[in-house]
Amino acid sequence: MAAIPELVHTEGDSNTTAARGRWDTGQNDPRIRGLLDRDAAAFMHQSLSSPCLSTIARAEGIWIEDTAGRRFMDFHGNSVHHLGYGHPRLVAAIKKQLDDLCFAPRRFTCEPAVELAEKLAALAPGDLGKVLFTTGGSDAIEVALKIARAATGRFKTVSFWDAFHGAGFGAASVGGEATFRSHIAGPMMTGTEHVASWDGYRCPYGHDTLEASGLACANMIAYVLGREQDVAAVVAEPMRATPNPPPPGFWKRVREACDRHGTLLIFDEIPTGLGKTGKVFAHEHDGVTPDILVLGKSLGGGILPIAAVIARRDLDVTGGFAIGHYTHEKNPVTTRAALTTIDIILEEGLVERSAELGGHMLARMQDLMARSPHVGDVRGRGLMVGVELVEDRASRQPARDLAERVFYTCLEQGLSFKVSHGNVLTLSPPLVISKTDLDRALDIVETAVLAA
């Protein structure tokens, strides 16, 4: 039986035998079983992704379909599917670019790459105007770290425990998930300090409100910056993708602390940027501008891999050495995909749609919280909402077995999503979803939670 990929994605969690046996429907179907077995034999095994849970034969709009013909609304999509799958305008643009120019060696520039850099600089706030492209978010985080070291002459970072910033060595070092750190023999990258994140529900600082938890967390960051005095950058998601928005004023306090101590602020918006939270960039909710912004995942429109680093213009100090130098850094096809993705998001009003439908989704899940003693919290922004399941709201004990039952019930009813921290149903549909399909999916969640 295959292990469970992406169901649990947090420090200390694992794929249990009980969980592996929870969803048998279809796995023994020869149209599925054969490909699963070949996959397990061919690929290196790793937590969260292999062996696989099922197969996929088609993906269109909000839907994925397995090789047995079963269809699922995808409320996960590895955070790449803002446009849904196979957006016709995006597919056409990529096909045309393949005919016009399919590759550009690094020593030659091309129109799509320059246009994308210009567009990102125009979209980004403040003086964020210098850009580099990579083929993935983890590599983009590595580039951001190199810029911070070069610009400050320092090497230390401060980031959050439990945060995910990529699987590369440097990205995993500033990240805080055990899944991406515990297997590495010997020390991680030096100078990577960590603090506990805000969490008003299970606050590591002993507080019982989000505001008090956030204040304690911001004060801890300021304390570390003051004591160390030589931190190059604070690296964080402006909104945790688990999902978990910060309390009001949190990032302003951190921004002020960074400014006092000459520390750069790097925002990782790889999963949360480009409209997912109801604004173009997630940090816009908090009125704070980072020194370096990192985008990825959805930038390629759910088809091609591309990520971007957007830095303040005065941080362009690395001309004497290579900090990226990726083979596909200025690939005309991937950059055309990103350009078209941004155009679709802006021209089709998908940012505003995310805010509107996200408010509707949040309200429906808050109503579910009022009807179920097992919903301990509902939180999120835009079309990224988390439903935290607990044994009861008095004890606030995470209900992981309940979350597993709900997950598999929803999967059997044709809805796929991720479970964060082992007990948070993370609902992240494409920005193109219709209200009818959104309500259909939320009906499935409500029925599963109330019946579990």
pLDDT in tens, 10-20: 333 333 333 44
Confirm if 411 and 401 have CB atoms less than 8 A apart: no
pTM: 0.93
Peptide bond into 398 cis (omega under 30): no
When mean pLDDT is compared across 162-166, 185-189, 326-330, 384-388, the lowest value belongs to: 185-189
pLDDT at 68: 93
What are the boundaries of each domain within the chain? 17-85+350-451, 88-347
- Helix axis angle for 88-100 and 332-347, nearest 10°, is 150
Q: How confident is the model at residue 188 (pLDDT cuts 50, 70, 90)?
A: confident
pLDDT in tens, 419-446: 999 999 999 999 999 999 999 999 999 9
Q: How confident is the model at residue 26 (pLDDT cuts 50, 70, 90)?
A: low
Structure token pair of residue 241: 């993708």
Interatomic CA distance for residues 82 and 276, integer angstroms: 7
pLDDT in tens, 321-378: 889 889 999 999 999 999 999 999 999 999 999 999 999 999 999 999 999 999 999 9
Please tell me the total number of residues recorded for the chain in this structure: 452
DSSP 424: E
DSSP 239: S
Fold of 88-347: Aspartate Aminotransferase; domain 2 (3.40.640)
pLDDT at 212: 87
Q: Are strands 384-389 and 375-381 parallel, antiparallel or unpaired?
A: antiparallel
DSSP 291: S
Across the chain, mean pLDDT equals 91
pLDDT at 24: 53
Interatomic CA distance for residues 225 and 211, integer angstroms: 21
**Cross-strand partners of 130:** 311
pLDDT at 198: 85
pLDDT at 210: 81
Find the mean pLDDT for residues 232-260. Answer: 96
Q: To the nearest whole percent, how much of the chain has pLDDT over 90?
A: 79
pLDDT in tens, 287-324: 999 999 999 999 999 999 999 999 999 999 999 888 98
When mean pLDDT is compared across 151-155, 197-201, 266-270, 334-338, the lowest value belongs to: 197-201
If one counts every other C-beta atom within 10 angstroms of the C-beta of residue 436, the result is 8
Tokens 């492209």 belong to: 133
pLDDT in tens, 110-133: 999 999 999 999 999 999 999 999
Find the mean pLDDT for residues 84-91. Answer: 98
pLDDT at 235: 98
Interatomic CA distance for residues 441 and 452, integer angstroms: 17
Structure token pair of residue 41: 């034999």
Architecture of domain 17-85+350-451: Alpha-Beta Complex (3.90)
